[in-house]
C-alpha cells in the first residue's frame, strides 16, 4: 500500500474513523497498527487526517452521515455552520510585533480582531478538499500501470480480449484494464505474498497491491501475516482480510457471498458501506445486490478452488486426500491407478499388482522376504518409503530421516503382495470390512497384507496442498473373505506412527474385529507411517509363519484438512 494507489485514502480513512470513534474491533486495530508500523505513507496520511479530524471535531461540526447523504460536506453541515456563525463568540487574535521601520510610530492599545470560528473551519475544509482533489487526481494517474502480481499458475485458462498470450510468469499491473477469465483456473501471487485463485468465468481488475475488484466470478484468497488487509471489492461489498483464508463469489445479478475458512474478515456491505461486521471462521454471509441486506448462509469448505497445480493437473477444493490413491501413483484426488502396487522390498511402483483382480493365480514376486532395510519410493514425492517390519534384530528404520521404532514384534519377516491399491477385488474376492465394500469409487483402500509398512511425507503434501492437515482418518481390519489356506487363523496388528512415535496400535485383530482410526496431526508432524504386522502364532504345517491369511486393510485412509 502506498500513496500512489487510488484506494489508499479510502481504506485508511475507514480504519481511522472506526478507531477514533471507538468502534474498531481488535482485528481491525491489528491491521491498522501493522499498516502504521510498516508503511511510511500510511503514517504520513494518519498525521494529516488526525490533525484535520481533531480540529473539526473540537469545534463540534462533525456529524454522522445518513444513508441519504451521498457527499460530504452536505446541506445539513452548511446549516449547522450558518447557525454556528450567528452565535459564535469572537476569537482574540494578538497583534503582530511592529516592524523595525515603524518602531517610532505612536502605538495604539491592543485591538481585538473578530475572526469567526466558522471561517477557520471553512478554511480547513476548503484546504482539505483542494489537497484531496489535487492529490487524488495526481496519485490516481501515478497508481496506474504498477506491476503488483504474477500469474503463478493456470489450468485450461482461456482469456478474453488479450493481445498477447497470458502465460505463467505474466505480470499484472494496477489500472483500468479488466481481466476476463472465460474458463479454467488461474492463480495469482501478489508481491506481498497473498495468493489468489480464480475460477472462470470471472471478470476482475487489479486495483492495488493488496486489492482486487471482482465484477463477477469466484475467487479464493490466502493472505499470510505480511499481506494483512488484502481486500476484495465487489459491486456491492468490500471484504477485508484480518489474517484469513476466505472465498468470495460475485454474481452477475449483483449478490455477493463470503465464506471464511480460516481467521476472520471485515465485511462492508452495500454501496454506501453502511453495514460493517466481522465474519469469523466457519461462517458465511450473502449480500443481496439490490438491497444490500446481509443474511447468514452455510459455510461450504469445498465450494471454492483453493489450489491448482498444472504439472499434476489437479484442482483442489479442500477435500480430504486419499492415501490409497497416492499409493496408487495418484495425487490423492482420484488420479491413482487401481490394481497397482508398491514392492516393499525395493520401493518400486508397479502398474500391475502381484495379486490379480479376476484370477486366483498369483504372479511371480508375490512372496517377499525382508532385507531389514528402508526403501525410498522415488516414483511419488508424497511417499517417503516402504519396508517390511521385523523387530527380531532390534529397532526398525521407518523414515528417510532415520527415525527408528523399537517396539515392532519379532515377525516372520515375510510380506505378501506388497502395498496394493485394489480395484474392487483381489484374487476374485471383494474387499469387505464388516460387510462394507472397499476398493470402489469413493471408498479407496490400502491392502497391506502383514507384514508391510509405508511412510507418507506430510511436509511435501503440505507444500502441494496449502490447507492445514488436521488428522489422519481410516477404518481398519482383516478382510471378511480371504484364501484361508492351510487352516491358519488370521491375526494382525495395526500401527500408526508419527515421526517414529506410536499414535495408534491394535494387536491381535481378527476378522470383523476392526474399527476406526482418528489420529490428530499438527504442522510440526513430518512423517505418517502405516504398518501391519502378523499378530499371532501360525499353523505348524506352515512353520508357524504367522502372516499367513492376514488380509489386512486400511479402508478410506485419508488426510483431513481444516
Predicted confidence (pLDDT) per residue in 125-141, tens digit: 444 444 443 344 444 43
Give the separation between CA 347 and CA 365, rounded to whole angstroms.
13
How far, CA to CA in Å, does 146 sit from each of 139, 196, 318? Answer: 12, 18, 33
Band (122; pLDDT cuts 50, 70, 90): very low
Band (253; pLDDT cuts 50, 70, 90): confident
pTM of the model: 0.69
Band (166; pLDDT cuts 50, 70, 90): confident
Q: Which domain holds residue 354?
A: 319-561
Tell whether 293 and 366 lie within a shared domain: no
Tell whether 291 and 424 lie within a shared domain: no
Three-state DSSP class for residue 310: coil
Give the separation between CA 318 and CA 473, rounded to whole angstroms.
16
Closest CA to 166 of 176, 430, 156: 156
Tell whether 500 and 399 lie within a shared domain: yes
For residue 523, is pLDDT > 90? yes
Give the separation between CA 215 and CA 205, rounded to whole angstroms.
8
* Residue 306 grid coordinates: 483453493
Of 30-44, 47-61, 165-179, the range with the lowest mean pLDDT is 47-61
Question: What is the CATH classification number for the domain harbouring 161?
Answer: 2.60.120.1440
Tell whether 209 and 357 lie within a shared domain: no
As a whole number, mean pLDDT of residues 329-345 equals 94
Number of domains composing the chain: 3
Lookup result for grid cell 529397532: 395
Tell whether 126 and 170 lie within a shared domain: no
Q: Is residue 307 part of a domain?
A: no
Q: Is residue 259 part of a domain?
A: yes
Tell whether 336 and 443 lie within a shared domain: yes
With beta carbons less than 8 A apart as the criterion, state whether 473 and 514 touch. no
As a whole number, mean pLDDT of residues 285-312 equals 91
With beta carbons less than 8 A apart as the criterion, state whether 196 and 232 touch. no
As a whole number, mean pLDDT of residues 67-94 equals 40
Phi, psi of 346, rounded to the nearest 5 degrees = -130, -25
Which residue would you say has higher pLDDT here, 528 or 254? 528
Q: What's the pLDDT score for residue 37?
A: 65
Percent of residues, the chain, with pLDDT higher than 90:
56
β-strand partners of 498? 501, 528
Which residue would you say has higher pLDDT here, 241 or 291? 241
With beta carbons less than 8 A apart as the criterion, state whether 359 and 428 touch. yes
For strand 237-241 and strand 195-208, is the pairing parallel, antiparallel, or unpaired?
unpaired
Q: Is residue 448 part of a domain?
A: yes
Q: Is residue 375 part of a domain?
A: yes
Give the separation between CA 480 and CA 249, rounded to whole angstroms.
47
Tell whether 118 and 152 lie within a shared domain: no
Tell whether 510 and 530 lie within a shared domain: yes
Give the separation between CA 199 and CA 214, rounded to whole angstroms.
12
Most confident of 2-6, 316-320, 361-365, 399-403: 399-403
With beta carbons less than 8 A apart as the criterion, state whether 216 and 202 touch. yes
Q: What's the pLDDT score for residue 7?
A: 55
Tell whether 456 and 494 lie within a shared domain: yes
Tell whether 163 and 280 lie within a shared domain: yes
As a whole number, mean pLDDT of residues 273-295 equals 88
As a whole number, mean pLDDT of residues 105-123 equals 45
As a whole number, mean pLDDT of residues 475-502 equals 87
Q: Is residue 417 part of a domain?
A: yes
Question: What is the CATH classification number for the domain harbouring 463?
Answer: 2.60.120.1060
Closest CA to 525 of 455, 474, 476: 455
Q: Is residue 101 part of a domain?
A: no
With beta carbons less than 8 A apart as the criterion, state whether 413 and 379 touch. no
Tell whether 334 and 273 lie within a shared domain: no
Amino acid at each position: 500500500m502506498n500513496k500512489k494507489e487510488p484506494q489508499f485514502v479510502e481504506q485508511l480513512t475507514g480504519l481511522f474513523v472506526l478507531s477514533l470513534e471507538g468502534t474498531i474491533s481488535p482485528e481491525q486495530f491489528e491491521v491498522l497498527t501493522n499498516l502504521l508500523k510498516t508503511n511510511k505513507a500510511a503514517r504520513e496520511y494518519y498525521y494529516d487526517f488526525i490533525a484535520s479530524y481533531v480540529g473539526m471535531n473540537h469545534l463540534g461540526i462533525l456529524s454522522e452521515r445518513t444513508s441519504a447523504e451521498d457527499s460530504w460536506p452536505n446541506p445539513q453541515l452548511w446549516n449547522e455552520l450558518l447557525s454556528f456563525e450567528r452565535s459564535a463568540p469572537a476569537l482574540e487574535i494578538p497583534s503582530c510585533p511592529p516592524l523595525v521601520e515603524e518602531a517610532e510610530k505612536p502605538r495604539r492599545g491592543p485591538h481585538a480582531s473578530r475572526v469567526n470560528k466558522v471561517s477557520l473551519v471553512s478554511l480547513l475544509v476548503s484546504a482539505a478538499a483542494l489537497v484531496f482533489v489535487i492529490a487524488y487526481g495526481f496519485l490516481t494517474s501515478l497508481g496506474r500501470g504498477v506491476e503488483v502480481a504474477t500469474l503463478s499458475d493456470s489450468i485450461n485458462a482461456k482469456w478474453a480480449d488479450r493481445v498477447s498470450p497470458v502465460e505463467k510468469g505474466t505480470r499484472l499491473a494496477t489500472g483500468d484494464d479488466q481481466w476476463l477469465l472465460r474458463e479454467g483456473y488461474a492463480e495469482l501471487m501478489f508481491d506481498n505474498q497473498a495468493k489468489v485463485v480464480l475460477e472462470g468465468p470471472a471478470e476482475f481488475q487489479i486495483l492495488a497491491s493488496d486489492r482486487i475488484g471482482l465484477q463477477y466470478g469466484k475467487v479464493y484468497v490466502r493472505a499470510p501475516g505480511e499481506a494483512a488487509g488484502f481486500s476484495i471489492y465487489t459491486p456491492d461489498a468490500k471484504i477485508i482480510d484480518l489474517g484469513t483464508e476466505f472465498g468470495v463469489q460475485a454474481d452477475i445479478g449483483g449478490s455477493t457471498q463470503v465464506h471464511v475458512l480460516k481467521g476472520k474478515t471485515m465485511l462492508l456491505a452495500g454501496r454506501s458501506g453502511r453495514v460493517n461486521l466481522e465474519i469469523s471462521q466457519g461462517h458465511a454471509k450473502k449480500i443481496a445486490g439490490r438491497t444490500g441486506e446481509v443474511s447468514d448462509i452455510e459455510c461450504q469448505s469445498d465450494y471454492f478452488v483453493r489450489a491448482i497445480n498444472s504439472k499434476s493437473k489437479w484442482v483442489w477444493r479442500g477435500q480430504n486426500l486419499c492415501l490409497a490413491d497416492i499409493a496408487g501413483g495418484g495425487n490423492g484426488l482420484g488420479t491413482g491407478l487401481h490394481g497397482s502396487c508398491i514392492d516393499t522390498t525395493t520401493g518400486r511402483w508397479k502398474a500391475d499388482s502381484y495379486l490379480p483382480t479376476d484370477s486366483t493365480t498369483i504372479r511371480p514376486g508375490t512372496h517377499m522376504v525382508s532385507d531389514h532395510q528402508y526403501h525410498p519410493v522415488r516414483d511419488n514425492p508424497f511417499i517417503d518409503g516402504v519396508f517390511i517390519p521385523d523387530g527380531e534384530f532390534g529397532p526398525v528404520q521407518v523414515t528417510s530421516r532415520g527415525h527408528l521404532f523399537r517396539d515392532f514384534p519379532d515377525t516372520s519377516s515375510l510380506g505378501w503382495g506388497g502395498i496394493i491399491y485394489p480395484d474392487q477385488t483381489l484374487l476374485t474376492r471383494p474387499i469387505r470390512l464388516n460387510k462394507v465394500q472397499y476398493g470402489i469409487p469413493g471408498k479407496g483402500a490400502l491392502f497391506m497384507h502383514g507384514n508391510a509398512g509405508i511412510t507418507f511425507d506430510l511436509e511435501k503434501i503440505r507444500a502441494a496442498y496449502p490447507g492445514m492437515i488436521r488428522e489422519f482418518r481410516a477404518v481398519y481390519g482383516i478382510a471378511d473373505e480371504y484364501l484361508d489356506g492351510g487352516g491358519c487363523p488370521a491375526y494382525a496388528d495395526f500401527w500408526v506412527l508419527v515421526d517414529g512415535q506410536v499414535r495408534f496400535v491394535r494387536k491381535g485383530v481378527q476378522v470383523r474385529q476392526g474399527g476406526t482410526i482418528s489420529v490428530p496431526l499438527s504442522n510440526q508432524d513430518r512423517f505418517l507411517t502405516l504398518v501391519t504386522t502378523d499378530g499371532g502364532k501360525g499353523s505348524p504345517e506352515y512353520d508357524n509363519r504367522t502372516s499367513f491369511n492376514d488380509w489386512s486393510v486400511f479402508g478410506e485412509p485419508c488426510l483431513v484438512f481444516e
